[in-house]
Amino acid sequence: MSKRPAPRRPVCGGGGAGTPHGARSDTAVFDVDGTLIDTNYHHALAWYRAFRSYDITLPVWRLHRAIGMGGDQLVAAVAGEEVEARLGDDLRDRWVREFEPMLDEVQPFEGARELLEEVRRRGFPLVLASSGKKAHVEHYLDLIDGASIAQAWTTADDVERTKPAPDLLLVAVAKVHGTSGVVVGDSVWDFEAANRAGYPGYAIRTGGFSPDELRDAGARRVYDSLTELHQHLDETALAHPDRSA
């Protein structure tokens, strides 16, 4: 039986920021879409079809670059303020109709449940932070039995502004009466939001963004998979929760 290769070292940000020796956080905040559940490309296709239904054709690659924003921000970001003002709500409604038939296709990423269990074992309160529709989030939770392990989760109903605004992350930490979060996400929007909230963040490449983009957006370290992050938890702010507050 051949030996498994040694795990590749994760891509680090500058200044050793990924080590746990600085200020630590007391709450683990995990993004859901694209981080725990493999949905980003389904979302991009659903948005493409939604725009096409209104005779607006946008390149799928450009739509993919905006995935991770909430729908309240995405329309203007990819199509401009005029389209948002004229068609924003209609496009969001159409996106729901296009996406929901794909729900049964989406699956968790390998190692999702095991990583969450380890983070909880280390003593972190765990919040699953999604800006998705309530019914969608409940479906994702069922895929990983998330309700049995997370103390709380968020949906679109919890905030008026989604990422890259920090509101969702702040609400996530408040739900468990925490003082500071450590964020795990997959998109540049996760880390723009984390920076605005003042929280450290660690990126998984499952969303389709490059390591340089994720680092530039503020991720301390970048991992190829949830399993790789699991292997390197001791080198992150998820090593142990801060109990000093």
For the chain, give every domain's residue range. Answer: 22-38+108-235, 40-104
Which CATH architecture is the domain 40-104 placed in? Answer: Orthogonal Bundle (1.10)
- Kindly tell me if the per-residue pLDDT of 122 is higher than 70: yes
* 17-69 pLDDT, tens digit each: 333 334 569 999 999 999 999 999 999 999 999 999 999 999 999 999 999 99
- Kindly tell me if the per-residue pLDDT of 108 is higher than 70: yes
Give the residue from 180, 203, 172, 182 showing the smallest Cα distance to 119.
182
Distance CA 30, CA 13 (A): 20
Query: What is the mean pLDDT of the segment spanning 71-100?
Result: 97
The CATH number of domain 22-38+108-235, selected from 3.40.50.1000, 3.90.76.10, 3.30.390.30, 3.40.50.1580: 3.40.50.1000
Distance CA 217, CA 240 (A): 24
Q: Alpha-carbon torsion 128, 93, 60, 66, what sign?
A: negative
What is the model's pTM? 0.89
Distance CA 125, CA 111 (A): 19
